[in-house]
Amino acid sequence: MAPYQSMEEYNISVTNEVKDRFSKIIDEIGEDVKRDGLLKTPERAAKAMLFLTQGYKQDAAEILKGAMFKEDYDDMVIIKDIEVYSLCEHHMLPFFGKAHVAYIPNGHIVGLSKIPRIVDVFARRLQVQERLTHDILECLNNTLKPKGVAVVIEASHMCMMMRGVQKQNSVTTTSGFRGQFEKIETRNEFLKLISSDLS
């Protein structure tokens, strides 16, 4: 899996529009857009922004459908510690952390690398952590139709750390459970497995 592969193609007119706006922002905050170090900054910032929001152009359900296999395995499948990098929709500042995803197959399994990919598809949009959790949960539930799905995300928010309340060490945890994970014993087994360091 290569989560940081660069975008193959940037739409030139969109990139130029975003670039011009970044140039204006840099000017408005009192910087000199013509100074050496900043000459290519609007273009770099535009490409970075388009990369970080490329999830709008991607279809998570299609990615899953492309790698579903018939299989009788019906124990819990857990992918833990998936790196998450997203942008909060309130400040457009990063929030980042880890996602833990589990499902109990119901006749189909999905290629393991697809789970981190769909996390990226939803993370690379303007998000709130609650909706990101829910998007991943519902996509897996509706596409794979498993016996159960669980998603837990633990993340730090730059908008809290760098500004506002300046709480550097607070981590926000969100979770969602469907199907068999709504049963307390299944949910507890999952929570125990993701909090252990055995791997």
Q: Is 88 a catalytic residue?
A: yes
Q: Which residues contact 10 (CB under 8 A, 6 or more apart)?
A: 47, 50
Q: Is 90 a catalytic residue?
A: yes
Q: How far is the C-alpha of 10 from the C-alpha of 15, rounded, in Å? A: 7
The least distance separating Zn ion from the CB of residue 15, rounded to whole angstroms, comes to: 25
Nearer to Zn ion, 155 or 194 (CB): 155
3-state secondary structure of 157: strand
Q: Is 139 annotated as a binding residue?
A: no
Nearer to Zn ion, 114 or 124 (CB): 124
Q: Is 91 annotated as a binding residue?
A: yes
Q: How far is the C-alpha of 199 from the C-alpha of 143, rounded, in Å? A: 28
Active-site hit among 88, 100, 127, 139: 88
Residue reference for tokens 């897996």: 140
Q: Is 180 a catalytic residue?
A: no
The least distance separating Zn ion from the CB of residue 128, rounded to whole angstroms, comes to: 8
Residue reference for tokens 């068999």: 180
Nearer to Zn ion, 126 or 193 (CB): 126
Q: Is 157 a catalytic residue?
A: yes
Q: Is 129 a catalytic residue?
A: yes
Q: How far is the C-alpha of 135 from the C-alpha of 5, rounded, in Å? A: 23
The least distance separating Zn ion from the CB of residue 93, rounded to whole angstroms, comes to: 6
Q: How far is the C-alpha of 22 from the C-alpha of 18, rounded, in Å? A: 6
Q: Is 159 a catalytic residue?
A: yes
Binding site for Zn ion (CB under 5 A): 88, 90-91, 159
Query: Within 13 Å and on the Cβ side, how many CA atoms surround 41?
Result: 16
Active-site hit among 17, 62, 89, 130: 89
Active-site hit among 62, 71, 90, 182: 90
Residue type present at position 168? Q
Which residue has the CB atom at the shortest distance from Zn ion? 159
Which of the residues are catalytic? 88-91, 129, 157, 159
